[in-house]
């Protein structure tokens, strides 16, 4: 369905209960709907927002257009969790209902202060001539989940940026900082920008552009996030329009990171940063990752599994996109690792585990679409591990490995309904040659997350297979050991 601008910006009150129930049931009953990942209860989900710990719970909000699979007028939906795995959807938290966010409550972050959570985000307003005016705005959420917006903006975008959005609120030495994504007016290039205040609810001023040691950050930076990972400063962001010479990527827009010794907030810069940008995820569909340090210092990240300007087969069922699982971040031996959180293991149906060793071909004929597979492939093996395979293994998500050369090629060309084929149907990961290859794979109906070598690399993808295609098998006998656990829904 083509949405007109008028339809996309229709007020939330316009929709009837009947329509909402219908949309809800479409999202809930679609066979390809994920069962153990956070997903929209209706309509479209995009960026994770306000990922935080508050009042004894994890909070994760997300960008939502609740009325269909299009980027219409955005709000924040609110979810909570006790273990970072089971999420309860509490519904609409930040509606587009003030003069500052009337045309969209865009992305932002959250931080707990005493018994309240402060939400900082970008509000969009359109004037009668449809000119966009963006504001950075704030709201307090109390322990009952009641959100009260400030009656004034925190700051208005200065003229030297055409775009400034997605504030990440940081606190250091009694000062409040906001890290934002921006586009410079002068040459339409992308940059991250830092603001500061001593009062939070007012007194914001620009500190300046953040020097990440890169001359090219494309035409717009979205969703910048700073996080401390085991003492290393990590900057995660989406440099839209990045030159492929600067850093290779295949997705329409990249989600990249840089690490450095420190994030200097006074003369904003990443100190001694990496020379080159690295893809945070080497799969097909990760964007707008949000990371934060929990009260105990642990760094967690979560991503939108979906991309801007991309259509997905579920659009026809009026819902779109899912959230990745939450990952724990670590920095070891000069490298960023991403691993599942501990509670993911609670989802395993341990009584129904399939354990394999020797030289298996078929691991499980009817594994279905809801399982975790841990597999270690011995050195100097080449072949294909198929997920969501049909009987003949002609269809499925193919993981073509070569542990001699050190390569893993993920191929979704024959998985089912196509997605974003213009941007390629394979992704190639380089792994150490002549060594074993360890994979921890999570399959959830239309989502695959692959952790390679204990989280040294991660690759995430959507796939849209016939749900009857539930075979997991190697095409040739392969020296491998591992376990497949069916996963409990929640
Ligand atoms: C990234 C993004 C953000 C913006 C939000 C709007 O996907 O474009 O920059 O705040 O989505 O939904």
The domain boundary residue, chosen from 314, 342, 370: 342
* Same structural domain, 317 and 204: yes
* Same structural domain, 390 and 456: yes
Give the 3-state secondary structure of residue 423. Answer: helix
Which 8-state DSSP code applies to residue 272? S
Distance CA 140, CA 241 (A): 35
In the numeric block, the tokens 């040739």 are attached to 476
* Same structural domain, 378 and 314: no
Average pLDDT of the residues in 198-208: 98
Predicted confidence at residue 156, as pLDDT, reads 96
Predicted confidence at residue 434, as pLDDT, reads 97
User: Any idea how long the chain is?
Assistant: 490
Which 8-state DSSP code applies to residue 364? E
Q: How far is the CA of 25 from the centre of ligand 1 (A)?
A: 26
Which residue, among 92, 88, 54, 57, has the nearest Cα to 73 in the 3D structure? 92
Average pLDDT of the residues in 179-190: 98
Q: Which residue of 40, 47, 163 sits with most ligand 1 atoms within 8 Å of its CB, as the best mutation to test the pocket?
A: 47
Predicted confidence at residue 136, as pLDDT, reads 98
Per-residue pLDDT of 268-298, as tens digits, reads: 999 999 999 999 999 999 999 999 999 999 9
Q: Which atom of ligand 1 is least distant from the CA of 63?
A: 12
Residues with CB under 6 A from ligand 1: 46-47, 63, 74, 106-107, 122, 165-166, 222-223, 288, 308
Q: Which atom of ligand 1 is least distant from the CA of 181?
A: 9
Predicted confidence at residue 489, as pLDDT, reads 74
Q: For residue 467, what are the domain limits?
A: 348-486
* Same structural domain, 323 and 354: no
Q: How far is the CA of 196 from the centre of ligand 1 (A)?
A: 22
Q: How far is the CA of 219 from the centre of ligand 1 (A)?
A: 15
Output the residue whose Cα is nearest ligand 1's atom 8: 222
Q: How far is the CA of 282 from the centre of ligand 1 (A)?
A: 21
Label the pairing between strands 397-402 and 480-486.
unpaired
* Same structural domain, 166 and 305: yes
Number of domains in the chain: 2
Q: Which residues contact 326 (CB under 8 A, 6 or more apart)?
A: 60, 84, 85, 300, 301, 302, 341
* Same structural domain, 360 and 378: yes
Q: What proportion of the chain, given as a percentage, has pLDDT over 90?
A: 99
* Same structural domain, 382 and 446: yes
Q: Is 321 in contact with 40 (CB distance < 8 Å)?
A: yes
* Same structural domain, 190 and 338: yes
Q: Which atom of ligand 1 is least distant from the CA of 47?
A: 7
Q: Which residue of 103, 165, 190, 252 sits with most ligand 1 atoms within 8 Å of its CB, as the best mutation to test the pocket?
A: 165
Per-residue pLDDT of 332-371, as tens digits, reads: 999 999 999 999 999 999 999 999 999 999 999 999 999 9
Asked whether the predicted pLDDT for residue 1 surpasses 90, the reply is no
Output the residue whose Cα is nearest ligand 1's atom 6: 106
Chain Cα centroid distance, residue 434? 32
* Same structural domain, 137 and 266: yes
Q: How far is the CA of 166 from the centre of ligand 1 (A)?
A: 7
The CB-side HSE value for 223 (13 A sphere, CA atoms) comes to 31
Distance CA 119, CA 161 (A): 23
In the numeric block, the tokens 């990745």 are attached to 324
Where residue 279 sits, what CATH number does that domain have?
2.115.10.20
* Same structural domain, 166 and 55: yes
Average pLDDT of the residues in 456-473: 98
Please identify every residue annotated as catalytic: 47
Whether the CA torsion 258, 262, 263, 267 is positive or negative: it is: negative
What number of H helices and E strands is found in the chain?
Answer: 2, 37
* Same structural domain, 228 and 139: yes
Per-residue pLDDT of 429-444, as tens digits, reads: 999 999 999 999 999 9
Q: Which residues contact 112 (CB under 8 A, 6 or more apart)?
A: 52, 53, 54, 55, 118
Distance CA 75, CA 66 (A): 8
Per-residue pLDDT of 223-253, as tens digits, reads: 999 999 999 999 999 999 999 999 999 999 9
The domain boundary residue, chosen from 342, 371, 404: 342
Distance CA 226, CA 233 (A): 7
Q: What are the backbone angles phi and psi of residue 315, rounded to the nearest 5°?
A: -55, -35
Distance CA 178, CA 137 (A): 11
Q: Which atom of ligand 1 is least distant from the CA of 308?
A: 7
- Which pair of structure tokens corresponds to residue 21? 């129930």
DSSP codes of every residue in 63-110 = EEETTSSS--S-EEEEEEESSSSSEEEEEEEE-S-STTTTT-EEEEEE
Q: How far is the CA of 47 from the centre of ligand 1 (A)?
A: 6
Q: DSSP E strands: which ranges in 280-389?
A: 286-293, 299-305, 319-320, 322-323, 327-332, 335-340, 354-356, 362-364, 370-377, 382-389
Which residue, among 285, 310, 255, 308, has the nearest Cα to 446 in the 3D structure? 285
Where residue 364 sits, what CATH number does that domain have?
2.60.120.560
Average pLDDT of the residues in 390-405: 98
Output the residue whose Cα is nearest ligand 1's atom 9: 222
Burial class (CB in 10 A: 0-12, 13-18, 19+), 296: exposed
The CB-side HSE value for 346 (13 A sphere, CA atoms) comes to 10
When the pLDDT of each residue in the chain is averaged and rounded to a whole number, the result is: 97
Q: Which atom of ligand 1 is least distant from the CA of 238?
A: 1
The CB-side HSE value for 439 (13 A sphere, CA atoms) comes to 29
Distance CA 44, CA 464 (A): 17
Q: How far is the CA of 165 from the centre of ligand 1 (A)?
A: 8
Q: How far is the CA of 108 from the centre of ligand 1 (A)?
A: 9
The domain boundary residue, chosen from 296, 314, 342: 342
Average pLDDT of the residues in 410-431: 98
Q: Which atom of ligand 1 is least distant from the CA of 122?
A: 10
Q: What are the backbone angles phi and psi of residue 354, rounded to the nearest 5°?
A: -105, 115
Q: What angle do CA 247, 62, 66 make, to 5 degrees?
A: 115
Distance CA 88, CA 454 (A): 28
Asked whether the predicted pLDDT for residue 490 surpasses 90, the reply is no
- Which pair of structure tokens corresponds to residue 44? 């479209």
Which residue, among 220, 192, 190, has the nearest Cα to 208 in the 3D structure? 192
* Same structural domain, 338 and 366: no
Q: Which atom of ligand 1 is least distant from the CA of 222?
A: 9
Q: Which residue of 43, 166, 168 sits with most ligand 1 atoms within 8 Å of its CB, as the best mutation to test the pocket?
A: 166
Output the residue whose Cα is nearest ligand 1's atom 12: 106
Q: Is 401 in contact with 382 (CB distance < 8 Å)?
A: yes
- Which pair of structure tokens corresponds to residue 302? 């979560």
């Amino acid at each position: 369905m083509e949405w007109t601008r008028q339809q996309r910006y229709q007020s939330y009150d316009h929709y009837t209960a009947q329509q909402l129930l219908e949309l809800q049931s479409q999202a809930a009953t679609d066979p390809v709907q994920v069962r153990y990942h956070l997903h929209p209860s209706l309509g479209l989900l995009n960026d994770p927002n306000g990922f935080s710990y508050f009042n004894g719970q994890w909070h994760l909000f997300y960008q939502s257009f609740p009325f269909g699979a299009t980027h219409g007028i955005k709000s924040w939906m609110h979810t909570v969790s006790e273990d970072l795995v089971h999420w309860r959807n509490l519904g609409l938290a930040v509606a587009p209902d003030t003069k500052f966010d009337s045309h969209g409550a865009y992305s932002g972050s959250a931080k707990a202060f005493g018994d309240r959570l402060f939400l900082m985000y970008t509000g969009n307003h359109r004037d009668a001539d449809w000119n966009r005016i963006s504001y950075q705005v704030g709201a307090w959420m109390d322990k009952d989940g009641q959100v009260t917006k400030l009656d004034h903006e925190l700051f208005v975008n200065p003229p030297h940026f055409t775009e400034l959005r997605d504030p990440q609120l940081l606190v250091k030495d009694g000062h409040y900082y906001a890290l934002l994504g921006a586009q410079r007016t002068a040459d339409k290039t992308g940059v991250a920008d830092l603001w500061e205040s001593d009062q939070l609810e007012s007194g914001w001023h620009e500190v300046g552009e953040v020097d990440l040691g890169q001359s090219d950050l494309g035409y717009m930076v979205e969703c910048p996030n700073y996080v401390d990972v085991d003492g290393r400063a990590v900057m995660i962001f989406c440099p839209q329009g990045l030159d492929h010479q600067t850093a290779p990527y295949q997705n329409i827009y990249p989600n990249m990171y840089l690490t450095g010794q420190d994030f200097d907030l006074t003369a904003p810069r990443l100190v001694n940063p990496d020379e080159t940008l690295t893809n945070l995820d080497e799969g097909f569909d990760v964007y707008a990752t949000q990371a934060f340090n929990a009260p105990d210092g642990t760094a967690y990240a979560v991503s939108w599994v979906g991309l801007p300007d991309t259509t997905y087969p579920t659009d026809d069922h009026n819902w779109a996109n899912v959230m990745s699982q939450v990952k724990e971040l670590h920095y070891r031996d000069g490298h960023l690792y991403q691993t599942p959180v501990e509670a993911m293991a609670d989802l395993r149906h341990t009584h129904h585990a399939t354990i394999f060793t020797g030289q298996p071909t078929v691991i499980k004929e009817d594994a279905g679409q809801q399982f975790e597979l841990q597999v270690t492939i011995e050195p100097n093996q080449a072949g294909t591990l198929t997920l969501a395979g049909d009987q003949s293994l002609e269809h499925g998500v193919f993981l073509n490995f070569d542990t001699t050369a050190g390569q893993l090629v993920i191929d979704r060309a024959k998985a089912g309904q196509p997605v974003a084929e213009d941007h390629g149907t394979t992704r190639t990961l380089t792994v150490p040659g002549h060594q074993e290859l360890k994979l921890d794979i999570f399959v959830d109906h239309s989502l695959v997350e692959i952790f390679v070598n204990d989280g040294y690399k991660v690759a995430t993808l959507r796939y849209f297979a016939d749900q009857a295609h539930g075979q997991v098998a190697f095409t040739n006998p392969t020296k491998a050991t591992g376990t497949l656990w069916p996963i409990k829904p929640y």
